[in-house]
Chains A and B, each alone.
Chain A
Amino acid sequence: MSNVAFEKPVEDSVPKINDEVAVGEDLVFQRRWWKFESVMWSLIAILLLLNFLGVFGRGPAAHASLQNDALSIKYERVERFGTPAIFHVLFAPDVMSKGKVELFVSQSVVDELGAQRVIPAPLESAVGAGGITYTFAAGQAPGSVEFALQPARAGIYHFTVGIPGSAPLSGRIIVVP
């Protein structure tokens, strides 16, 4: 014989009525859950639609551009953590006439937005004024430079890009997790 003490009587948490099958159905909860489910499906459909539009990056709504007399830039206003993106800078013909062109980018482009490489490689780069000034060899217009970005952290980051001596362009990039 076992010496284990049995102290708790066997009970059924589901009430027994007229000897019917004890199911324990909770239709009040289930109806509430079905309502919640239908709300969640609607929410999922909206999120997917927004995603297709590019609200969470990699779609038409994420594309952005800025322009002034010296340059124009094309970038993604919403980027994704750890995902490659291109930051495109197009120079105006005027700034390319001297055989070389200088471009200032704020430190956030390198740090938070994770610039992996600059295409083409600059002739030289100089740090200062809260960023980096790159010098590129320049031929005939049009000419452009690309920064291959790969953000290392989610967040909202501000950047500034400009040709020294002219008004800079500033923008904001949201990096989603």
Chain B
Amino acid sequence: MAASVRAILFYLFLVFVVRIVGRRPGKQITPFEFVLVFFMGGLALTAMVGDDASLTNAFIQIMTIAFIHFLIAIGRSRSSRLAVLLDGTPLVLLENSKWRSDTLSKMRIQDDDVMAQARDQGVTTLDKIEIAILERNGQISIIEGEQ
């Protein structure tokens, strides 16, 4: 029982912390964020396991996390409010050749990140971009304007 409660608490805590830390640990994961995700997981492990290193404890905790994740996924699909709370909202980073500098700075994203994604899609200059969007999964979508 205590092991399951610990697992639930740590799962919710990590969901919350990752949400606060920012969106980029999702899709565009860099070595910098790679360290963060794995380090947090490792630290959570020590407290979750405690002095119970049994297989039973591991099975129960994994099943607990899977079940809570399942419930949250159902809740997210049924409630747009919960979805926005958990995943955030798409954010426009660049529109009509103008940066949304406030959004960029608050999301801790640099214009270089947007340009990197633009180059990935074969867009060579900023003025060819109609709109750049930071998606909920952390991906930056680039939509070219009509020439």
Q: Are B51 and A82 in contact (CB under 8 A)?
A: yes
Binary contact track A13-41/B, C-beta < 8 Å → 1, others 0: 10000000101111101100110010011
Provide the residues of chain B in CB contact with A23, threshold 8 Å.
90, 92, 131, 133
Q: Are A25 and B91 in contact (CB under 8 A)?
A: yes
Provide the residues of chain A in CB contact with B51, threshold 8 Å.
82
Bound together, the chains give a CA A13 to CA B89 distance in angstroms of 13
Instruction: Return the chain B residue nearest A152 by Cβ.
Output: B51
Instruction: Return the chain B residue nearest A41 by Cβ.
Output: B20
Of A21, A25, A41, the residue contacting B89 (CB under 8 A) is A25
Provide the residues of chain B in CB contact with A21, threshold 8 Å.
130-131, 133, 143
Tell me what chain B mostly uses at the interface: helix, strand, loop, or mixed. Answer: mixed
Whether A30 contacts B20 in the complex (CB less than 8 A), given A21-B131, A82-B50, comes out as no
Binary contact track B126-137/A, C-beta < 8 Å → 1, others 0: 000011010000
Instruction: Return the chain B residue nearest A81 by Cβ.
Output: B50
Binary contact track A89-113/B, C-beta < 8 Å → 1, others 0: 0000000000000000000000000
Q: Say yes or no for B72: interface residue by CB 8 A criterion.
A: no
B77–chain A nearest beta-carbon distance, Å? 13
Q: Are B89 and A30 in contact (CB under 8 A)?
A: yes
Provide the residues of chain A in CB contact with B78, threshold 8 Å.
none
Q: Are B89 and A29 in contact (CB under 8 A)?
A: yes
B2–chain A nearest beta-carbon distance, Å? 10
A18–chain B nearest beta-carbon distance, Å? 13
A sample of 14 more A-B contacts (CB under 8 A), given A24-B89, A27-B89, A41-B20, is A21-B133, A23-B92, A24-B90, A25-B90, A25-B92, A25-B133, A27-B91, A29-B84, A29-B89, A30-B88, A30-B103, A33-B88, A34-B106, A37-B20
Q: Would you give 12 A-B contacts (Cβ < 8 Å), ordered by A?
A: A13-B80, A21-B130, A23-B90, A25-B92, A27-B89, A27-B91, A29-B89, A30-B89, A30-B103, A33-B88, A40-B20, A82-B51
